């Protein structure tokens, strides 16, 4: 389910409202919306609100390259699922033991972020349910692959990946891993957040945690 024009999105809330239109068939079902933090939770909040579905969050944290915190070689979920770019790792040729240390640091940070985000709210049980896994965009699929692993490990019956914008070739790869992929905007090439989201995300985990207190189901 997709359309082809690559467009600028006003912000992540508007992207969530757009995405919800493509997910209307899940309204009134047993599905649960799972937003990947940070930006994906903003999009997921709008999807859940429009479809009157329960909302939860999944923290995925980047493993940064040595000496460059803005670039990553992989990601770790709060549950410990790890996805690493082997080609990037071979190109970097980091010292022995670096990957283990980077993984452990990222996992600690992911769990700290999850604790701040969740606060006193209990995680929703997704076992035997359809999970609509939402992020704000996807360029390489690394974050979504880790999130898919986490959702499966938590017992999801079916996984629907929903992103407002992602390159076409990535969507084809994701379709082999999940029940369905929903993406309204599909540029041909890799994308940057600044191209599709002009305004940077201003919310931190404490602000985002307020989304988890709302329930329309």
Angle, vertex CA 11, rays to CA 59 and CA 149, nearest 5: 25
pTM, two decimal places: 0.86
CATH number of 2-59+119-213: 3.40.50.2020
Per-residue pLDDT of the chain (217 residues; tens, 9 = 90+): 444 444 556 688 888 999 999 999 999 899 999 999 888 999 999 999 999 999 999 999 988 777 776 677 889 999 889 998 888 888 878 778 888 888 898 899 999 988 888 887 888 999 999 999 999 988 888 999 999 999 999 999 999 999 998 888 889 999 999 999 999 888 765 555 455 665 556 677 777 888 887 776 5
Q: Does residue 76 contact residue 63 with C-beta atoms inside 8 Å?
A: yes
74: helix, strand or coil: strand
Q: Where are the domains of the chain?
A: 2-59+119-213
């Amino acid at each position: 389910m997709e359309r082809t024009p690559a467009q600028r999105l006003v912000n992540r809330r508007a992207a969530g409202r757009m995405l919800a239109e493509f997910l209307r068939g899940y309204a009134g079902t047993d599905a649960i919306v799972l937003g990947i933090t940070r930006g994906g939770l903003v999009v997921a909040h709008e999807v859940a609100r429009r479809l009157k579905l329960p909302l939860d969050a999944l923290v995925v944290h980047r493993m940064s390259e040595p000496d460059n915190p803005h670039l990553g070689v992989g990601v770790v979920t709060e549950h410990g699922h790890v996805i690493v770019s082997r080609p990037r790792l071979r190109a970097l040729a980091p010292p022995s033991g670096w990957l283990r240390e980077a993984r452990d640091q990222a996992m600690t940070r992911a769990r700290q972020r999850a604790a701040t985000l969740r606060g006193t709210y209990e995680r929703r049980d997704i076992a035997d349910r359809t999970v609509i896994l939402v992020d704000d965009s996807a360029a390489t699929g690394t974050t979504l692959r880790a999130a898919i692993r986490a959702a499966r490990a938590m017992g999801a019956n079916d996984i629907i990946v929903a992103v407002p914008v992602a390159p076409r070739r990535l969507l084809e790869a994701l379709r082999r891993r999940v029940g369905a992929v929903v993406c309204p905007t599909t540029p041909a090439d890799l994308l940057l957040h600044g191209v599709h989201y002009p305004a940077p995300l201003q919310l931190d985990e404490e602000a985002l945690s307020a989304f988890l207190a709302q329930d329309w189901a």
